[in-house]
Amino acid sequence: MQRVTNAVYIKNNHVLMLKKPKRGWYGTPGGKMEPGESIKQSVLREFEEETGLLLTDAKLSSAFTFVIEDEQEWMLFTFVAQASTGQLLEETPEGELEWVPFDKVLDLPMAEGDRRIIKHAISDPEYVLTGTFYYTQDYILQKEFIDGPSELVAEEE
């Protein structure tokens, strides 16, 4: 099973976003876990590879199961951070890095599940959100399942 980690890095009410060449969709920097890594080791390594920044206060913000039509399901662990060391890369092989203000970030083109995850990381950094996203192979969200603090609170189709 694939496991992916990424981070919502916040500074002065902006989020560091990565604009990927494919479709022009945005996402937050991150990538696949390597064998034996903890989820935090993975996100620190991936984020630094893609941005040049080593996060120093990363904490888990959400853990989601991704069910992709006709593919193996995978898991995404998203961290939130507000501090780092290192020098921000000007260019990265994965795409263009861009500081996007809070009031614009949720309007960017991106996978709908990512939108939900970023919204949560910005608005409630203390609570670890969990759930399941159901996607087509083209990353069109078909259904989402969000756990509440104590039980299931929402299922949208």
Residues forming the site for a copy of itself (CB under 8 A): 1, 3, 35-41, 44, 55-60, 63-65, 67, 73, 75, 77, 83, 128, 130-132, 134, 145, 147, 149-152
The nearer residue to a copy of itself, 118 or 146, going by C-beta atoms, is: 146
Coil vs helix vs strand at 42:
helix
Query: CA 38, 91, 106 angle in degrees (round to 5)?
Result: 70
Reading the block at residue 47, the tokens are 């984020």
Q: How far is the CB of 100 from a copy of itself (least distance, A)?
A: 24
Pairing of strands 30-32, 26-27: unpaired
Q: How far is the CB of 103 from a copy of itself (least distance, A)?
A: 29
Q: How far is the CB of 39 from a copy of itself (least distance, A)?
A: 5
Coil vs helix vs strand at 113:
helix
Q: How far is CA 130 from the centre of its chain?
A: 13
The nearer residue to a copy of itself, 54 or 106, going by C-beta atoms, is: 54
Q: How far is the CB of 60 from a copy of itself (least distance, A)?
A: 5
Alpha helices in 34-138 (DSSP H): 39-51, 102-105, 112-123
The nearer residue to a copy of itself, 26 or 134, going by C-beta atoms, is: 134
